[in-house]
Amino acid sequence: MTTFPDDKHVTVEDADAGRRLDVVLARALPDVSRARLQALIRAGAVMRPDGLTIEGPNSRVKPGEHYLIRVPEAVAPVPVGEAIALSIVHEDRAVIVIDKPAGLVVHPAAGHATGTLVNALIAHCGDSLSGIGGVRRPGIVHRLDKDTSGLMVIAKTDAAHQSLSAQFAAHGADGRLERGYAALVWGIPTPPAGRVETFLGRKANDRTRMAVVRQDHGRHAATRYHVAETYPASHPERSPAPTALVRCTLETGRTHQVRVHLAHLGHPLLGDATYATGYKTRIPKLGATAQSALKALARQALHAELLVFEHPTSAKSLRFISALPPDIADLRAALERGD
């Protein structure tokens, strides 16, 4: 019989009598995901010494039964590692937190087969990854748009991937996760603090864009916001186009959620080429320095500045804050001065 370094042995305890096999194995082997165990059972990699056939993941176990779980070594990922510089905020055996720069795509896809965050992570820590789902790859549990900068957490182990996935699925409802964004917007939202709750779906005539849609055409989305700063307060004669710094907290995690919700309020992001197209006429009303800073920004003024999550291993709450990157900070300063 072929053996592997990660082979596991599990004996069924009395308290587990009658439970599903995949459930019992998942409880006994917290470092291996239940989905991975189900795949191993179906592949014939889980066996009993008595030779009796295991019908499937939902087979019921009996006390004292012994199971051998043959866990093959994780295979190499399809994406290749690339030496791409990363701004690492925190790293340990379970997770890595990075401050993603604008312009970096998170995952390989059509048009971006290389040069992504996943390629960079494989090069940086590929040897320490534990084989999430049987493939030695980083566990991406959330994403940022290519042109959105800020904090991301990535799982390095199967167990960490399970924990973080559950936290992001709950979107902070259980108190473990918090995600905050800083955004520079056109106009000043009224009231200065509130909550946007809609359903979001892809536009029928443009699948690259999201829109507020009817309930049966989209997914529930909720965002809390508050106006942190307004500009310009001192020189309206120089820059008559009001703008603001708005901070948003996610209650859900939908594609383009912050961008669409702020546009829905009538206050789209500065620099957003997708959702602020009707606001180009306001650009000449900004001060000359602000116009130059906005042109240099060349992206939406959105930054994921706050990330709080429960560490998958220690259960300790970790909190990270990222300062505005230079391009957004320069624009904010120019707006504040009214230049």
**According to the model, what pLDDT value does residue 325 have?**
98
* Phi, psi torsion values for 28, nearest 5 degrees: -80, -25
pLDDT tens digits, one per residue of 47-106: 876 666 677 888 888 888 888 887 776 655 567 888 999 999 999 999 999 999 999 999
Task: Please report where in the chains the tokens 């624009």 appear, as a residue.
Answer: 331
Burial status of residue 173 (CB atoms within 10 A of its CB: 0-12, 13-18, 19 or more): exposed
**According to the model, what pLDDT value does residue 132 have?**
60
**According to the model, what pLDDT value does residue 138 have?**
83
**According to the model, what pLDDT value does residue 130 have?**
65
> Residue 189's CB: how many other CB atoms inside 10 A?
19
Q: Please state, rounded to an integer, the average pLDDT across all residues of the chain.
A: 88
Q: How confident is the model at residue 1 (pLDDT cuts 50, 70, 90)?
A: very low
Q: Which helix (H) or strand (E) holds 150?
A: strand 149-155
- The amino acid present at 48, given as its one-letter code, is R
Q: Which residues are catalytic?
A: 145
In the chain the domains, ranked by start, together with CATH numbers, are 8-69 (3.10.290.10), 88-170 (3.30.2350.10), 178-337 (3.30.2350.10)
**According to the model, what pLDDT value does residue 313 have?**
94
pLDDT tens digits, one per residue of 228-265: 999 976 667 767 889 999 999 999 999 999 999 999 99
Q: Dmax of the chain from CA atoms?
A: 86
Burial status of residue 20 (CB atoms within 10 A of its CB: 0-12, 13-18, 19 or more): middle
Q: Is the peptide bond before 232 cis (omega within 30 degrees of 0)?
A: yes
User: Is pLDDT larger for residue 1 or for residue 124?
Assistant: 124
Q: How confident is the model at residue 274 (pLDDT cuts 50, 70, 90)?
A: very high
pTM for the whole thing? 0.78
* Among 253, 199, 244, residue whose Cα is nearest residue 226: 244
